[in-house]
């Protein structure tokens, strides 16, 4: 028997060393409600020996009791661990009615905690497997085997040879404990995990799903919880139904007014346009630009300042146009010399001054009352008309009734004596 026990212990230790599964019940502290004889103590069920052909290797409670229980302290908490119970194969009548309870704390009540499983079958146990194999969910430390069923007339008796509690090592999980905890995409990285599910308590990194965060988002979805649709992004060109499952990044950038990898964030206050790279305060609006504007267009609600156009008034007038709304043509100005098709896009200023009868930078304004001549620089009152007049033709300043004696020119501004001296020369 000693040789067999050593072999079983060596096999269990090899499984642990391989980093797959471990029987955490092996050689742990166990106790029972009663013991039929000293050779059948509670520890028999956790000694690693599964020989079930006789009562020699079993734990056996007294007969004639109304209830019986056996308990083991795993000395560590397990999660959703697999429980195996090896029943005697030479006497099957004490299998039916056995119950398994799990708890995180020790208690004098054998039914403390959660009921994991109840063995059911015929009283003679012939339809119940020789090895019970169940998974007890949740987190627990103590396992209690309990019965109050009298199957053979001897009362409630427990009579089995071994209890094993199998769980993955702390760094493994899943079927056959074949998956590394470190391979998961948990929001909070950890090299240890639930040996059954590999669950990530804090959720998954962006772009990953399932309880163990092991599967990328399905095609067409991305981001936290895989809750975002690729087709809902605000990309510069039409969004496709397929995108990076983590970031949803728009490869061609964002449409105007949006930013971020997936272009779902609107521009922050004060910014607008493609890539949110334009400042509301830098626009050339008709009135002073504010720091807040439409995040897509940056449109100036009151129009553009002179010489600029477009929704956000950042475009200069095209060649040949100027002024408010870029609505004025350079070639239509009344400059002193022939107007060109190119002029200052803001003012349209005539570099050589205005033609007679016009004034202003772009020479579009006619002379005001009392003024005439080039750039409207002459005063009607300074003429030597007959009779004097404070108003005149804004273009020529013509004296309708002729000039005072000694004066000439159409506006009576030329002295005849000066004219005679000119001729004499």
Domain termination residue (choose one: 169, 203, 223): 169
**Is 162 inside any structural domain?**
yes
Domain that holds residue 407: 377-424
How confident is the model over 86-134, as pLDDT tens digits?
999 999 999 999 999 999 999 999 999 999 999 999 999 999 999 999 9
How confident is the model over 53-68, as pLDDT tens digits?
999 999 999 999 999 9
Closest by CA to 290, choosing from 275, 312, 273, is 312
Burial of 49 (0-12, 13-18, 19+ CB in 10 A): buried
Instruction: Identify the bridge partners of residue 166 per DSSP, sorted by sequence position.
Output: 23, 82
In this predicted structure, the answer to whether residue 8 has a pLDDT above a threshold of 80 is no
Q: What confidence score (pLDDT) does residue 419 get?
A: 54
Phi and psi (nearest 5°) for 176?
60, 15
Tell me the C-alpha to C-alpha distance, in Å, between residue 255 and each of 123, 233, 235, 345, 417.
74, 9, 5, 30, 77
Q: Which two tokens stand for residue 226?
A: 């895989």
Confidence of residue 258 (pLDDT cuts 50, 70, 90): very high
Q: Are 47 and 205 in contact, with CB atoms under 8 Å apart?
A: no
How confident is the model over 267-313, as pLDDT tens digits?
999 999 999 999 999 999 988 767 889 999 999 988 999 999 999 99
**Is 259 inside any structural domain?**
no
How many folded domains does the chain comprise? 2
Confidence of residue 158 (pLDDT cuts 50, 70, 90): very high
* Average pLDDT score, the chain: 89
Domain termination residue (choose one: 169, 192, 209): 169
In this predicted structure, the answer to whether residue 183 has a pLDDT above a threshold of 60 is yes
How confident is the model over 348-386, as pLDDT tens digits?
999 888 888 899 999 989 998 889 888 898 999 989 998
**Is 107 inside any structural domain?**
yes
Q: What confidence score (pLDDT) does residue 21 get?
A: 83
Greater pLDDT, 25 or 169: 25
Rounded to 10 degrees, what is the CA torsion of 49, 9, 77, 115? -20
In this predicted structure, the answer to whether residue 192 has a pLDDT above a threshold of 60 is yes
**Is 419 inside any structural domain?**
yes
In this predicted structure, the answer to whether residue 49 has a pLDDT above a threshold of 80 is yes
Tell me the C-alpha to C-alpha distance, in Å, between residue 190 and each of 153, 183, 204, 317.
53, 9, 12, 61
What is the percent of the chain where pLDDT is above 90? Answer: 66
Domain termination residue (choose one: 169, 200, 230): 169
Rounded Cα–Cα distance for residues 47 and 233 (Å) = 61
In this predicted structure, the answer to whether residue 216 has a pLDDT above a threshold of 70 is yes
Rounded Cα–Cα distance for residues 359 and 179 (Å) = 88
**Is 16 inside any structural domain?**
yes
CATH number at residue 27: 2.60.120.260
Q: Are 48 and 56 in contact, with CB atoms under 8 Å apart?
A: no
In this predicted structure, the answer to whether residue 342 has a pLDDT above a threshold of 80 is yes
End-to-end CA distance of the chain: 151
């Amino acid at each position: 028997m000693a040789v067999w026990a050593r072999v079983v212990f060596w096999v269990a230790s090899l499984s642990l060393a391989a980093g797959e599964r471990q029987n955490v019940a092996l050689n742990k502290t166990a106790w029972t409600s009663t013991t039929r004889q000293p050779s059948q103590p509670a520890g028999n069920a956790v000694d690693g020996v599964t020989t079930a052909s006789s009562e020699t290797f079993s734990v056996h409670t007294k007969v004639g009791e109304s209830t019986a229980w056996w308990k083991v302290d795993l000395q560590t908490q397990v999660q959703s661990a697999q429980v195996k119970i090896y029943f005697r194969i030479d006497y099957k009548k004490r299998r039916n009615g056995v119950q398994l309870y799990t708890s995180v704390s020790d208690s004098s009540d054998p039914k403390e905690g959660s009921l994991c499983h109840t063995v059911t079958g015929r009283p003679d146990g012939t339809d119940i497997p020789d090895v019970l194999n169940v998974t007890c969910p949740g987190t627990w430390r103590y396992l209690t085997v309990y019965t109050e069923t009298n199957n053979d007339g001897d009362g409630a008796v427990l009579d089995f040879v071994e209890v094993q509690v199998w769980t993955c090592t702390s760094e493994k999980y899943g079927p056959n404990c074949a998956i590394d905890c470190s391979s998961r995409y948990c929001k909070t990285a950890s090299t240890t995990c639930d040996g059954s599910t590999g669950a990530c308590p804090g959720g998954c990194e962006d772009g990953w799903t399932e309880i163990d965060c092991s599967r990328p988002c399905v095609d067409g979805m991305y981001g936290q919880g895989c809750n975002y649709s690729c087709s809902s992004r605000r990309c510069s060109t039409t969004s496709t139904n397929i995108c990076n499952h983590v970031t949803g990044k728009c490869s061609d950038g964002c449409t105007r007014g949006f930013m971020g990898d997936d272009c779902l964030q609107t521009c922050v206050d004060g910014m607008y346009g493609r890539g949110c790279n334009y400042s509301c305060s830098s626009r050339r609006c008709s009135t002073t630009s504010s720091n807040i504007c439409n995040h897509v267009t940056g449109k100036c609600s009151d129009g553009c300042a002179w010489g600029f156009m477009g929704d956000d008034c950042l475009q200069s007038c095209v060649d040949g146009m100027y002024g408010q709304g870029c609505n004025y043509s350079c070639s239509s100005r009344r400059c002193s010399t022939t107007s060109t098709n190119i002029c200052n896009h803001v003012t349209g200023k005539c570099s050589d001054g205005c033609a007679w009868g016009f004034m202003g930078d772009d020479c579009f304004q006619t002379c005001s009352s009392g003024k005439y001549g080039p750039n409207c620089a002459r005063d009607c009152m300074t003429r030597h008309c007959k009779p004097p007049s404070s108003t005149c033709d804004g273009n020529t300043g013509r004296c309708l009734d002729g000039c005072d004696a000694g004066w000439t020119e159409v506006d009576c501004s030329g002295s005849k004596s000066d004219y005679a001296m000119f001729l004499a020369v």
